[in-house]
Amino acid sequence: MRPFRALTYRVRDAAHLARVTSPAYDLVTAAGRERLAAADPHNIVRLILPETAPAADPAPLRAADGPPPWAAQAARTLAAWQDGGVLVRDEVPALWVYELQPADGGAPTVGWLGAVVLPGPASTAVLPHEDTFPDAVEGRRALLAATRTDLEPIVLAHDADPEVAELTDRVRRAEPTFRIEDDDGVRHRLWRVTDPALVTGLAAALGRTRAVIADGHHRFAAARAHQRTDPGCPGCDAVLALLTPMGPGGLRVAAIHRVLPDLRLDDAARDAAAGFTVEGVPVHDGSSPVAVAAAVHAWLADPGASGYLLSDGSRLLQLSNPEPAVRDLVPSEAPGAWRGLDVVLAHKGLIEGLWSRTDEPGSVLIAHTVEDALRTAAERDGVALLLRPPSPADVAAVARAGARMPRKSTLFVPKPRTGLVLRPLAD
């Protein structure tokens, strides 16, 4: 990890930063993009999801005569904001301590923001744990190549180290450089760190650890692809990353759910019954989406719960006790840490097996909240498959076994805010 000359908004009061920043690009819906863009003419969403982009994760064809139009638009917008003084460049390289305080008052997540050197292909220093889609990687690569800027960080979870914790606590005793509260009530505080001794000590301490990618698999792959396609590009040997510890002070894992459009609940239940016990789940106060969501949240909070929930937005079913024939659909040659995951059985045994669906973006949709899953299922005449999250230890075990979980299997929370700190590649 090394310091870098950050690009930040010139106006740093909390109200302004709340207006111009956004969630990560893959968490922004079409309606959310319009709301963010309307909040301020300089909202960062205009860079991470340019208006001319055909989708939230565009997949442009490689063009020999230059970047795709939407990526070129983002580059022009970024240059205009720098020329107009909306964004300003630091004179001195720095690292940043980043604290995220959950709205519920729970323990904060604290990490370090810096430029992490991209490891070689055979290195185990940074381990992915999820699959990626080539089109999504190419979309992020095109944006990176056009803007020559890391617009948002990936997130890494590193082995706990007492020296890292001590250096972090030392920085947090001072007044933060800036702070904001996002729409979900998460409070973000950042400290700019330029002390050479502290920066050197932190880099040495982190050098003793390994890390797992918690968030940003496509951006990590895009950075590697950009390095390959533009060898020698200044700054292309690193990626902007937030490093947080495994365990106390680190991230938590929330569930990510699936929606299968154009699949009736009765048909889904009939086919699932060939390999699972299917039972109705009582929903108190009727069958409204609010009541169904409350029942799902209660199930997710129950430590004794198992299996999966299935809903069309108004009815709720539980799938449990998978038959051996369903479990046999999970490849036996895969590592044990991978075979035992609920999300793997859901994809291999249920989605691909009993429902005969391919895991493609148009066939299996992703929902980051229960409410979004139920709403999308109702809108798309489909079903929501509601999953319990894996543990951080499960994720680390899969990564260290050299395996990959299905795409979008983990939602590490809380999330850093996009737009607080950008990293131009060239110093």
18 & 143 share domain: yes
Query: Tokens 């999300």 identify what position?
Result: 343
Q: How far apart are CA 315 and CA 284, in angstroms?
A: 11
**pLDDT digit string, tens, across residues 113-145:** 999 999 988 888 888 888 888 888 999 999 999
Q: Is 162 part of a structural domain of the chain?
A: yes
Count of domains for the chain: 2
Instruction: Write out the residue range of the structural domain in which residue 159 sits.
Output: 7-252+413-424
**pLDDT digit string, tens, across residues 179-210:** 999 988 999 999 999 999 999 999 999 999 98
Q: Is 224 part of a structural domain of the chain?
A: yes
243 & 275 share domain: no
276 & 206 share domain: no
146 & 112 share domain: yes
Q: Is 95 part of a structural domain of the chain?
A: yes
238 & 225 share domain: yes
Kindly report the average pLDDT of the chain as a whole number: 90
76 & 108 share domain: yes
Q: Is 2 part of a structural domain of the chain?
A: no
**Whether this model's pTM surpasses 0.85:** no
Q: How far apart are CA 1 and CA 118, in angstroms?
A: 10
pLDDT score, position 56 = 46
Q: Is 399 part of a structural domain of the chain?
A: no
pLDDT score, position 133 = 84
Q: Is 406 part of a structural domain of the chain?
A: no
310 & 240 share domain: no
160 & 264 share domain: no
pLDDT score, position 391 = 79
234 & 379 share domain: no
Burial of 187 (0-12, 13-18, 19+ CB in 10 A): middle
Single out the residue of 265, 359, 352, 256 nearest to residue 310, CA to CA. 265
240 & 297 share domain: no
Low-confidence ranges of the chain (pLDDT < 70): 52-65, 286
Q: Is 14 part of a structural domain of the chain?
A: yes
Q: Is 393 part of a structural domain of the chain?
A: no
Cβ neighbours of residue 145 under 8 Å, at least 6 residues apart?
A: 67, 71, 226, 229, 230
Share of the chain above pLDDT 90, in %: 66
309 & 293 share domain: yes
Query: Tokens 């609940």 identify what position?
Result: 265
311 & 371 share domain: yes
